[in-house]
Amino acid sequence: MNTPRRITGTVFTFTLAVLLIGGVLFVAGQVVGLVAGQNAWLEFFNNVIKPPICIAASVCAVAGFLLSYRRPRKEAGQKQEATSR
């Protein structure tokens, strides 16, 4: 019964890892391309590497949003009493 939450958690974790690793590779590749003066490298990272990172970021955000919802706890007929001081 907790399977959808487990799947969403797995998707969140996987896409977060892809996003973080891809972001580091993207920035490092851009820096190397700038230092080397290779415009083709900059275009490669912008056209090939950036779109999957953006998709992973979007999926990660949606999964994180879904994980923010918690299942309401079933109370076994217990009421919380307010205490005043």
- The whole model's pTM is what? 0.73
Nearby residues of 41 by Cβ (< 8 Å), 6 or more positions away:
29, 32, 33
Residue 63 lies in a domain: yes
Quick check: is 8 in a domain?
no
pLDDT in tens, 39-73: 999 999 999 999 999 999 999 999 999 998 876 66
**71 DSSP 8-state letter:** P
Show the domain range for 34: 23-68
Q: How many domains does the chain have?
A: 1
**Cα 29–Cα 55–Cα 51 angle in degrees, nearest 5:** 40
Q: Is residue 83 part of a domain?
A: no
Tokens of 3: 């399977």
How many whole angstroms separate alpha carbon 43 and alpha carbon 29?
Answer: 10
pLDDT value of position 30: 95
Mean predicted lDDT score pLDDT of the chain:
87
Q: Which two tokens stand for residue 23?
A: 């972001």
Residue 39 lies in a domain: yes
Residue 30 forms part of a structural domain: yes
Whether 54 is covered by a domain: the verdict is yes
Per-residue confidence at 81, pLDDT binned at 50, 70, 90? low
Reported residue count of the chain is 85
